[in-house]
Amino acid sequence: MPELPEVESAVRRLRDAIINKRIVRVDVLHPALRRRLSPARLRSVRGMRVTHVERRGKHQLIGLDDGRTLHAHFRMTGDWLIDRATDPLPRFARAAITLDDGVRAVLNDPRALSTLDLHAANAAPDLGLGPEPDDPALTPDSLLEVLSRKRAPIKPVLLDQRVIAGLGNIYAAESLWHARISPSTRASSLTRAQVKRLLTAIRRVIARATGARYTDPSVSRLAVYDRAGKPCRRCGTPIERIVQAGRSTYFCPGCQE
DNA sequence: ATAGGCCTGGAC
DNA sequence: GTCCAGGCCTAT
């Protein structure tokens, strides 16, 4: 599910479900969660009240009233499903947090790659993130400056969360298509005009996806992602799929320079 | 920069 | 069966 827009949607639903409530029960339902913390430690959030729920990039930070922070990351296929403690658990439930009013937030994740971490009070985690796409401090010039030091192709650079927080494989490709920039262009060789178009495109793509109703990044409204062989919506040239840094990249060889 | 690993399901 | 997957870390 989850790039910035989908995580933002999930955070909003989670916030509505748990803010200012007390956690009365925590269920750890998949052994892979142990990779980050023991079930006993995760269960130690029982009894805490939720003070805030925030998103940073693709990370989710859940503030507890003892000062600790529960830190969730969906990786590839995670999502929050909000239901009631009396409901049957969803098929891919990996953890469940029950609140004092009977509402339950279920971490549902078919691939079980999601992570939950717990940070001590007064220990704000360093997430290693660059600016959010809508950060006013992010400007064509600041982005140009960062990209000028990157020798890799622009597409994998856009996946580097230290450059811009929250972009993932789909919206990086979509943004490059909108900006008419080839994903193979060396980041440091982008012109200022191209960087300006790219930033505008990123903001448009993210804003539009964030406003969309959460289902999946509904394939039909995507310009290039997963459209290999299909005609470019702008120039008709068949969309190509290549692999960069181990990830699929979709682009139009006809109108992306 | 690339490959492999984490996990599992779905499409073919 | 095989391949692919919206993320990200570690090792080579």
Euclidean distance between the first and the last CA atom of chain A, given in angstroms as a whole number = 29
The pTM for the full model equals: 0.95
Residues A192-232 have pLDDT tens digits of 999 999 999 999 999 999 987 544 444 458 999 999 999 99
Query: 10 Å Cβ neighbour count for A238?
Result: 13
Among A238, A255, A251, A217, CA closest to A3: A217
Strand partners, A25: A98
What is the rounded distance in angstroms from the CA atom of residue A176 to the CA atom of residue A239?
Answer: 13
Note the strand B nucleotides within 7 A of protein beta carbons. Answer: 1-10
- Give the pLDDT confidence score for residue A216 in this predicted structure: 45
Q: A215 beta carbon < 7 A from strand C? A: no
Q: Check if the beta carbon of residue A111 is closer than 8 Å to that of residue A73.
A: no
Would you give per-residue pLDDT tens digits along chain A (257 residues)? 699 999 999 999 999 999 999 999 999 999 999 999 999 999 999 999 999 999 999 999 999 999 999 999 999 999 999 999 999 999 999 999 999 999 999 999 999 999 999 999 988 889 999 999 999 999 999 999 999 999 999 999 999 999 999 999 999 999 999 999 999 999 999 999 999 999 999 999 999 999 875 444 444 589 999 999 999 999 999 999 999 999 999 999 999 99
Catalytically annotated residue among A21, A58, A155, A197: A58
Structural domains present in chain A: 4-119 (3.20.190.10), 140-251 (1.10.8.50)
Q: Secondary structure of chain A: what % helix, strand, coil (to 5)?
A: 30, 25, 45
Q: Most distant CA pair in chain A: distance in Å?
A: 58
Known catalytic membership, residue A3: yes
Distance A1 CA to B6 C1' (A): 17
Known catalytic membership, residue A150: no
Q: What does A121-152 look like in DSSP terms, one character per residue?
A: TT----------TT-TT--HHHHHHHHTT--S
